[in-house]
């Protein structure tokens, strides 16, 4: 009899999450172009997984600490092989799904053509497109038997093999980098019969090999795609003479040529050519060697063109206003009277921008403080802060330069803010600042009054269109006094603060969360109302998992909505039979962190920037904010229930079979939570 494991390995659980994304690409009820885009998301997720998690496991496997284990008794070496096998299986499934989507697109009069299928009337368009848009951007390297190459991270390359005219002469190898800033999908002019043709950039390059290699006397030419993924860990130098910004900048550059952790290749590539490429890249291990189809870099499908086919896309939804809070009137005065909750993308993220723009212009506002983790490429948040500084406000910005894959973007914004007179702080050595907080100070009737907002997500107007997140606007002076304490800690990190309202990492989250769970256990024992409801991105912290197991064993009912990694195993008799874990994957990415404790009937509800991960508990500055307004509490409880009752896009996590879809019970109506939540807020406008 198999004994259920106490924990699920986090890397394996992450791959199970990405399998949920792949389910969306395989769902016939999802519009066809959206399915292609989900394939792109799946591929992009996998890229980041190999850059971060796989690379970490590989470093452990290669370290001198022999015998070191990675979760549940697995050695790092065994785990690498398990990951590779699972990824190969997922990649194979994704390719099968992609081929199925292509067939369905043909039924919609949309056809992909390769370099062997170009029609006579298409030649002129493709030739002109290649000359004008592609050829100037190509980087082509002729390889020799003596030089090694450092292929840039997460780029795709065509490995070209040319057989020359001289009999018995060695082949000539070349690498062509697929340009990142050139559209991957070339949409050809639509034909009179309504047929729409699309060509991949890779095939456009293949079609013009005769132009690229015109000076080589080859008798045969072929090309196969490879893609390299490198370790994304930043290596910060200890040189005290180098500024923090310089260290991050140098490390990001080094990342581009760091150790390779994955090589994806066309499985049609000749073995001799593959060995040659591996030798050039100094790859001597089969771990991370992933065979695939003709095309890689499938994350580009995230930007697949709409083709003027709204019938093959999700319909856009108008952003809803927040009742009582106008984008045309002074919202600071409205917040002074009561708290407001923004739930993006259902409601308009512009309220956050409006708050900061008002603060930048309002003569009674004296200062603004904000933490920044990830920003849009063209950020209105930054514009508002620069505007405030130019108007003489004291602006303090804590910007996290180590926000993974956003380092360069954040460095650029830091330079612009500093040039405008904004005071910057870069956090605390050893800690990332991941909290989502803002506070302003206003002088009213000769008194200093604070206003602010606390969010579960980044202040990023681009991702706010597709990530679901809560933002609480408040003028509660007790809460904002403690938010100000967090900023004081960021400025003077050796002085620890005490908090009555906020839960703040890294000093208090572990103990306070344990106490909150203990209280539910005590209430259950005493016959008082008890229960825990959690909405998280990830849960990997074993002490908190164990504490939830303890609560389950005491009879506390626990509902968990976990989008991503879940190391907890629910439904195990004697361990976790009172815990249920669901995951919703749909049009929007579920991103809020919400903590709900029954607390004997007097519910405690928190909105948090932190997941239940060790890094969030111990290695980051995080803030969980209590919600005291009863109307907002009801909104959070109602929307949690709508998510929990989803029977269209919810999956059951860490049960057999993994990722089984929740389906309506006999006679029950279909419930699709992202749709019902939108309707919930829409109905509030007419109440």
Residues tagged active-site: 434
C-beta neighbour count of 618 within 10 angstroms: 14
Cα dist from 80 to 21, 388, 393, 565, 567, whole Å: 22, 50, 52, 18, 18
Is the sign of the CA dihedral 305, 309, 313, 319 positive or negative? positive
Distance CA 205, CA 228 (A): 20
> Which residue in 438, 434, 336, 428 sits closest to 384, CA to CA?
438
Distance CA 272, CA 580 (A): 51
> Which residue in 529, 511, 512 sits closest to 520, CA to CA?
529
Q: What DSSP state is assigned to residue 664?
A: P
Report whether the peptide linkage leading into residue 195 is cis, meaning its omega lies within 30 degrees of zero: no
Residues in contact with 665: Cβ distance below 8 Å, sequence separation at least 6, in sequence order? 647
Element (H, E) at 503: strand 503-505
| Strand ranges, E, within 618-664 | 620-626, 650-652, 660-661
421: left (phi over 0), alpha (psi -120 to 50) or beta: left
Strand partners for 583: 651
User: Cα torsion at 354, 640, 45, 402 (round to 10°)?
Assistant: 50
> Which residue in 301, 562, 616, 590 sits closest to 434, CA to CA?
616
> Which residue in 687, 686, 685, 676 sits closest to 326, CA to CA?
685
SS (H, E, C) 537-566: CCECCHHHHHHHHHHHHCCCCEEEEECCCE
291 token code pair? 């065979």
Q: What DSSP state is assigned to residue 581?
A: E
Give alpha helix (H) positions in 430-566: 477-491, 509-525, 542-553
């Amino acid at each position: 009899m198999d004994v259920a494991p106490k924990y699920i390995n986090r890397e394996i659980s992450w791959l199970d999450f990405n399998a949920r994304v792949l389910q969306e690409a395989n769902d016939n009820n999802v519009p066809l172009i959206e399915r292609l885009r989900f394939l792109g998301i799946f591929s992009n997720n996998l890229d980041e997984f190999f850059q971060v998690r796989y690379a970490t496991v590989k470093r452990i496997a290669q370290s001198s600490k022999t015998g070191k284990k990675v979760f549940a008794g697995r050695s790092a070496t065994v785990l690498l092989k398990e990951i590779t096998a699972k990824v190969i299986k997922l990649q194979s499934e994704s390719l099968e799904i992609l081929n199925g989507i292509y067939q369905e697109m043909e039924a919609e009069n949309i056809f992909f053509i390769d370099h062997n299928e170009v029609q006579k009337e298409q030649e002129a368009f493709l030739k002109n497109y290649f000359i004008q848009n592609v050829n100037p951007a190509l980087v082509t390297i002729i390889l020799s038997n003596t030089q090694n190459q450092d292929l840039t991270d997460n780029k795709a390359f065509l490995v070209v093999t040319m057989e020359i005219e001289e009999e018995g002469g060695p082949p000539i190898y070349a690498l062509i980098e697929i340009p990142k800033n050139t559209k991957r999908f070339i949409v050809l002019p639509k034909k009179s019969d309504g047929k729409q043709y699309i060509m991949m950039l890779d095939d456009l390059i293949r079609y013009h090999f005769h132009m690229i290699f015109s000076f080589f006397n080859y008798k045969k030419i072929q090309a196969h795609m490879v893609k390299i993924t490198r370790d994304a860990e930043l290596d910060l130098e200890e040189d005290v003479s180098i500024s923090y910004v310089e260290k991050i900048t140098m490390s990001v550059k080094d990342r581009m040529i760091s150790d390779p952790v994955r090589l994806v290749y066309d499985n049609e590539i000749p073995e001799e050519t593959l060995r040659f490429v591996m030798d050039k890249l100094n790859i001597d291990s089969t771990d991370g060697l992933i065979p695939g189809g003709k095309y890689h870099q499938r994350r580009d499908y995230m930007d697949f063109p709409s083709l003027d086919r709204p019938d093959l896309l999700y319909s856009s939804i108008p952003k809803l206003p927040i009742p009582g809070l106008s984008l045309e009137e002074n919202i600071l005065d409205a917040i002074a009277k009561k708290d407001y909750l923004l739930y993006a993308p259902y409601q308009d993220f512009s309220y956050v921008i409006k708050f900061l723009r008002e603060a930048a212009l309002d003569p009674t506002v004296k200062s603004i403080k904000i933490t920044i983790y990830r920003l849009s490429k063209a950020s209105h948040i930054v514009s508002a802060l620069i505007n405030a500084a130019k108007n003489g406000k004291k602006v303090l910005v804590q910007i996290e330069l180590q926000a993974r894959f956003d380092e360069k973007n954040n460095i650029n914004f830091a330079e612009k803010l500093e040039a405008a007179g904004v005071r910057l702080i870069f956090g605390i050595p050893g800690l990332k600042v991941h909290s989502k907080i803002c506070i302003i100070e206003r002088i009213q009737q000769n008194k200093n009054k604070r206003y602010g907002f606390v969010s579960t997500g980044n202040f990023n107007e681009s991702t706010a269109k597709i990530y679901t997140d809560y933002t609480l606007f408040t003028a509660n002076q007790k809460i904002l006094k403690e938010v100000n304490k967090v900023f004081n800690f960021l400025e003077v990190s050796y002085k620890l603060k005490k908090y009555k309202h906020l839960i703040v990492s890294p000093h208090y989250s572990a103990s306070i969360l344990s106490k909150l769970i203990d209280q539910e256990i005590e209430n259950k024992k005493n016959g008082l109302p008890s229960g825990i409801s959690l909405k998280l991105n990830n849960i990997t912290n074993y002490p908190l998992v164990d504490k939830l197991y303890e609560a389950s064993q005491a009879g506390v009912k626990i509902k968990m909505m976990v989008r991503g990694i879940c190391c907890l195993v629910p439904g195990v008799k004697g361990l976790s039979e009172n815990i249920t874990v669901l995951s919703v994957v749909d049009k929007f990415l579920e991103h809020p962190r919400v903590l709900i404790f029954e607390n004997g009937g007097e519910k405690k509800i928190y909105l948090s920037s932190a997941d239940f991960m060790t890094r969030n508990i111990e290695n980051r500055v995080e803030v969980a904010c209590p919600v005291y307004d009863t109307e907002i509490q009801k909104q959070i409880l109602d929307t949690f229930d709508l998510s929990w009752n989803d029977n269209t896009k919810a999956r059951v996590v860490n049960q057999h079979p993994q990722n089984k879809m929740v389906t309506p019970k006999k006679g029950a109506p279909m419930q699709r939570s992202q749709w019902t939540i939108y309707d919930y807020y829409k109905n509030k406008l007419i109440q």
